[in-house]
Amino acid sequence: MDYDFIGPQSGPMETTETFESLVRAEFTPKSTYLNTASNSLLPARTVAALHEAALLRAEGRPLTSLYEDVEACRAAYARLAGVPATRVAAGASVAAHTGVIAASLPAGAEVLTAEDDFTSVLNPFHVRGDLKVRTVPLERIAESVRPDTALVAVSAVQSADGRIADLPALREAARAHGARTYVDFSQAAGWLPMDADAYDFTASVSFKWLLGPHGAAFLVVPEDFGGLTPVLSGWVAGEQPWDSCYGPVAELAHSARRFDLTHALFTFAGLRRSLDLIEELGLAAVHAHDVALADRFRAGLATLGHEPVPAPGSAIVSVPGLGGRQPGLSRAGIEVSDRAGNLRAAFHLFNTTADVDRLLDALSG
């Protein structure tokens, strides 16, 4: 594959060549892969760690190092989120984290959500049956907060089309009305800078822009836990986990670890190496690279007479009416998504200008 990277302007990687060489060493795609919004490619170091973790089980060796990987991932995610590791819970899915938040709300509480947001950030509020879930267009969510709103729940970046929520406006509106905020960073964490401390609760999966395997997700809670009850907690949520294996947990962890779910150990073993790579490259460099490629695609679409869904500054580009091209593109070795009739392309650090141009050439035909 012909790699032509748009390199970083600042951050740990000082030159385009360094950024490119590190990425080249980690990724060997066999296709033009533009589908990180579904799931990312795995770095070579992550694949190696998964293999080694599996060997521990296959050979009957101690799994101690795998539990260390969980804590390393917690700390690395905390650095990306801008919060202490004591505020980060390690779980398995955003839906489970949303469920814990939904369970904490009193009957009749109003939850404000965005139209057609991703199911994992919505459905647990709906299945409660006794909450008032109000839905508005994404661009109106800040102005729609009102005095009786208990919680605003929204994705930072919309999965379907890449639109970025106006989170600062949402935060200020929620504060003005005494509402709490819950932000899903699943389509943002790993390429878009995030400030989890600015919101009451935030969550993210690990298998998209964080370059990890499936099976891990993170929840950030306030220092005082924000009134949440660890309704899904098991032995790993104990202050002394290995002393909490039998009977009720006598003492819950004093940190957000009380909201941990039983850890998918292989996943965290791989994810640790993926998070290391993002930190080595620097989030600012990854952000600049991803958005530059998305902007190149938007510019190319204009020359072909196509207008994507407006999502300035996003690494995701969604083109109405072209979703039906996805099967043919996949047969041609170009991986994108069909979302509600829209062709969705998602650009990440392993993508290149050659990838963008190949997709544009295919669409022009």
CATH of the domain at 247: 3.40.640.10
Task: For residue 62, list its beta bridge partners.
Answer: none
Domain presence at residue 48:
no
Q: Which residues contact 94 (CB under 8 A, 6 or more apart)?
A: 120, 121, 184, 186, 203, 204, 205, 217
Nearest one of 38, 11, 10, 7 to 20, comparing CA atoms = 7
Count structural domains, the chain.
Answer: 2
**Full domain range(s) for residue 321:** 16-42+281-364
Residues 6+ apart with CB under 8 A from 16: 5, 6, 7, 8
Is 7 a domain residue?
Answer: no
Residues 213 and 177 in one domain: yes
In a domain, 314, yes or no: yes
Judging by DSSP bridges, how do beta strands 334-335 and 32-33 pair with one another? parallel
Among residues 147, 141, 136, the alpha carbon closest in space to that of 171 is found at 141
Which runs of E-coded beta strand occur in 137-264?
149-155, 180-184, 201-205, 217-220
Same domain membership, residue 36 and residue 92: no
DSSP state of 69: H
Residue by residue, pLDDT tens for the chain (365 residues) are 344 555 544 445 556 669 999 999 999 999 999 999 999 999 999 999 999 999 999 999 999 999 999 999 999 999 999 999 999 999 999 999 999 999 999 999 999 999 999 999 999 999 999 999 999 999 999 999 999 999 999 999 999 999 999 999 999 999 999 999 999 999 999 999 999 999 999 999 999 999 999 999 999 999 999 999 999 999 999 999 999 999 999 999 999 999 999 999 999 999 999 999 999 999 999 999 999 999 999 999 999 999 999 999 999 999 999 999 999 999 999 999 999 899 999 999 999 999 999 999 999 98
pLDDT of residue 282: 95
Cα 228 from Cα 239, distance rounded (Å): 17
Tell whether 198 and 71 lie within a shared domain. Answer: yes
Report the CATH number that the domain containing residue 29 is assigned in CATH.
Answer: 3.90.1150.10
Distance separating alpha carbons of residues 213 and 336, to the nearest angstrom? 19
Is residue 1 domain-resident? no
Q: What is the pLDDT of residue 1?
A: 39
